[in-house]
């Protein structure tokens, strides 16, 4: 069922069943639902009201603080209401509901040739277009690139690992948009400094992407090193990537720039290219729709605010024995209880699982085998942290490294007793965070 790597992490079956599916443009839905909060930071301030007419690319919510990001209409139409909706993370949040008019008409000045080239212009354009990290938590990109003046960035790491099973959105982007990804990297070089070393990290289970990117780099005469990585989960995690590429360990509570590193996902790099070359806000993204319970898995370029139900219908529907729908990957994604969930800026995948995928998952007592210790990429004691969290002994859990957990799920996956280790650890981290705020 599983095998451990010789360092840490796990080797789950990749199930990249959509790797050969070219990116298709998703259909225009009948309803767009745009949660105000789509990543880390304060929700933006809503600028529209019911009955307002908006166009594709219209600014509808403005960043409300330094760590916040703009939100734009993903198509033209009428604002129906401002109301609460269920977000992919399972929480209710304020959202803007738009009824598309079918014209898909752009706001004047958006999606037109409009190249910016200086550091200040690039950072401003990224901020205006609402670009955030599209491979993980969704940190505002203009903030990540705003490195303190006393910090020197030596390494720019482009994350093309896409280590989560089933997900192939980044893989297809590298195959189909390689030249534009290189252009996005060169823009980042302007911001971070021309002497920054650039590494494009791709897992070895994507040999075609490695070949295409190397060929494109040569054609573009770019100074970028492609690093084929061992296929291992969670290879694409920020801390793991830094350790793999530089040999340096990023401590808990530390940020990559403290080790002279900046990491950007390939999807984010492509969005930066579109923003800086065409003044195109982040209003769509490539999302993988896959899993054993869907009739036809696909990679779709989806307008933000499109609901999962619409994507399911475009893929021919699902089998009758679906028992779980996950937003994101199966390891770190979130299970949904409704298909009326919208695609947001960080929606890398929508996965459908049947009953056969969840056989023999009854939880049993811990047998103290130590496998969770062996595979933890942060070298933590997961079973101890989970027990302490369940006992509300948060002080001791923090001392043992609770805050360093990246919630990758390796411990729960490898556990022969099927204990929900990462769930309890996440519970503990959330409780500690709330106590800290109080």
- What would the mean pLDDT of 261-282 be, rounded to a whole number? 97
Q: Is the pLDDT of residue 360 over 70?
A: no
Residue 301 tokens, joined: 């370029």
Same domain, 168 and 268: yes
Specify the pTM: 0.94
Residues 123 and 162 in one domain: yes
Q: Is residue 5 part of a domain?
A: no
On whether residue 114 sits in a domain, the answer given is no
Each residue of 80-125: pLDDT tens digit?
999 999 999 888 999 999 999 999 999 999 999 999 999 999 999 9
In a domain, 187, yes or no: yes
Residue the block writes with tokens 């209710």: 92
Do 125 and 232 belong together in one domain? yes
Residue 8 belongs to a domain: no
Instruction: Tell whether 319 and 348 lie within a shared domain.
Output: yes
What pLDDT, on the 0 to 100 scale, is given for residue 437?
62
Q: Looking at residue 74, which CATH number applies to its domain?
A: 3.10.20.600
- CA-nearest of 410, 400, 334 to 428 is 400
pLDDT at 6: 39
The string of pLDDT tens digits covering residues 329-350 is 999 999 999 999 999 999 999 9
**pLDDT (0 to 100) of residue 52:** 98
Q: Is the pLDDT of residue 70 over 50?
A: yes
Question: How far apart (Å, rounded) are the C-alpha atoms in residues 218 and 147?
Answer: 29
Sheet (strand 53-54) strand order = 32-35, 92-100, 77-86, 53-54
- Do 142 and 42 belong together in one domain? no
- Asked if pLDDT for residue 180 goes beyond 50, the answer is yes
Q: For residue 254, what pLDDT band results from cuts at 50, 70 and 90?
A: confident
- How many structural domains is the chain composed of? 3
Whether the pLDDT of residue 310 is over 60: the answer is: yes
Residue 131 has a pLDDT of 98
Residue 214 lies in a domain: yes
Token digits of residue 192 = 């971070």
- Per-residue model confidence (pLDDT) at position 32: 98
Q: How confident is the model at residue 359, as a pLDDT?
A: 64
Can you give the length of the chain in residues? 438
Q: Is 151 found in the same domain as 258?
A: yes
Residue 251 is assigned to a structural domain of this protein? yes
Using the predicted structure, report yes or no on whether residue 15 has a pLDDT greater than 50: yes
Residue 3 — very low, low, confident or very high, per pLDDT cuts 50/70/90? very low
Co-location of 398 and 292 in the same domain: no
Residues 6+ apart with CB under 8 A from 192: 145, 147, 153, 156, 262
Whether residues 65 and 46 fall in one domain:
yes
What is the predicted pLDDT for the residue at 1?
A: 29
Give the side-chain half-sphere CA count within 13 A for 171. 26
Distance separating alpha carbons of residues 272 and 132, to the nearest angstrom: 9
For residue 381 the two structure tokens come to 């004691």
CATH number of the structural domain spanning residue 129: 3.40.50.11540
Q: pLDDT at residue 436 above 80?
A: no
Range of the domain at 241: 119-278
Q: Mark whether 289 and 251 lie in a shared domain.
A: no
> Domain for residue 6, yes or no?
no
Highest mean pLDDT among 51-60, 243-252, 373-382: 51-60
Q: Do 259 and 305 sit in the same domain of this protein?
A: no
Quote the pLDDT of residue 177.
Answer: 98
Q: Which of 327, 356, 385 is the last residue of a domain?
A: 356
Q: What is the pLDDT of residues 367-420, one digit of tens each?
A: 999 999 999 999 999 999 999 999 999 999 999 999 999 999 999 999 999 999
The pLDDT assigned to 5 comes to 39
**Of the residues 356, 382, 413, which one is the last residue of a structural domain?**
356
Query: Does residue 302 register a pLDDT over 60?
Result: yes
Q: Which of 356, 385, 405 is the last residue of a domain?
A: 356
User: pLDDT tens, 24-49?
Assistant: 999 999 999 999 999 999 999 999 99
**Helix %, strand %, coil % of the chain (to 5):** 30, 20, 50
| Pair (197, 264) in one structural domain | yes
Mean of pLDDT over the chain: 93
What pLDDT does residue 91 have?
87
Looking at the fold, whether 125 and 273 belong to one and the same domain comes out as: yes
pLDDT at 17: 95
**209 part of a folded domain:** yes
Separation of alpha carbons 195 and 335, rounded Å: 43
């Amino acid at each position: 069922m599983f095998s451990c790597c010789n360092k840490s992490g796990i080797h789950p079956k990749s199930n990249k069943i959509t790797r050969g599916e070219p990116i298709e443009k998703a259909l225009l839905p009948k309803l767009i639902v745009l949660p105000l909060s789509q990543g880390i930071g304060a929700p933006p301030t809503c600028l529209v009201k019911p009955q307002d007419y908006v166009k594709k690319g219209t600014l509808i919510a403005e960043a409300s603080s330094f760590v916040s990001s703009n939100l734009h209409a993903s198509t033209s139409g009428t604002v129906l209401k401002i109301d609460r909706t269920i977000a992919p993370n399972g929480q209710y949040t304020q959202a803007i509901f738009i009824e598309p008019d079918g014209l898909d008409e752009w706001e004047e000045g958006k999606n037109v040739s409009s190249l910016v080239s200086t550091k200040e212009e690039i950072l401003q354009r990224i901020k205006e277009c609402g670009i955030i990290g599209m491979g993980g938590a969704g940190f505002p990109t203009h903030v990540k690139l705003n490195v303190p003046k006393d910090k020197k960035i030596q390494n720019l790491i482009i994350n093309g690992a896409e280590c989560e099973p089933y997900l192939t959105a980044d893989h297809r982007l590298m195959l189909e948009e390689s030249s534009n990804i290189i252009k996005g990297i060169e823009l980042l070089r302007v911001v971070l400094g021309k002497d920054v070393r650039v590494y494009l990290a791709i897992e070895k289970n994507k040999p075609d992407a490695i070949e295409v990117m190397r060929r494109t780099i040569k054609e573009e005469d770019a100074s970028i090193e492609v690093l084929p990585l061992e296929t291992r989960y969670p290879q694409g995690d920020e801390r793991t990537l830094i350790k793999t590429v530089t040999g340096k360990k990023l401590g808990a509570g530390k940020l990559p720039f403290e080790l002279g590193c900046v990491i950007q996902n390939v999807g984010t790099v492509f969005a930066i290219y579109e923003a800086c070359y065409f003044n195109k806000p982040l209003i769509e993204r490539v999302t993988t729709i896959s899993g054993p319970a869907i009739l036809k898995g696909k990679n779709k370029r989806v307008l933000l605010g499109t609901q999962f139900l619409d994507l399911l219908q475009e893929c021919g529907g699902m089998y009758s024995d679906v028992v779980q729908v996950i937003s994101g990957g199966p390891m770190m994604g979130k299970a949904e209880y409704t298909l009326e969930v919208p695609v947001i800026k960080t929606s890398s995948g929508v996965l459908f699982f049947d009953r056969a995928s969840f056989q023999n998952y009854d939880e049993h007592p811990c047998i103290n085998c130590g496998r969770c210790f062996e595979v933890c990429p942060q070298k933590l004691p997961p079973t101890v942290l989970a027990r302490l969290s369940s006992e509300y002994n948060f002080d001791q859990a923090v001392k043992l490294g609770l805050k360093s957990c990246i919630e990758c799920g390796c411990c729960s996956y490898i556990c022969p007793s099927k204990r929900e280790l990462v769930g309890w650890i996440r519970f503990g981290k959330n409780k500690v965070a709330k106590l800290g705020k109080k």
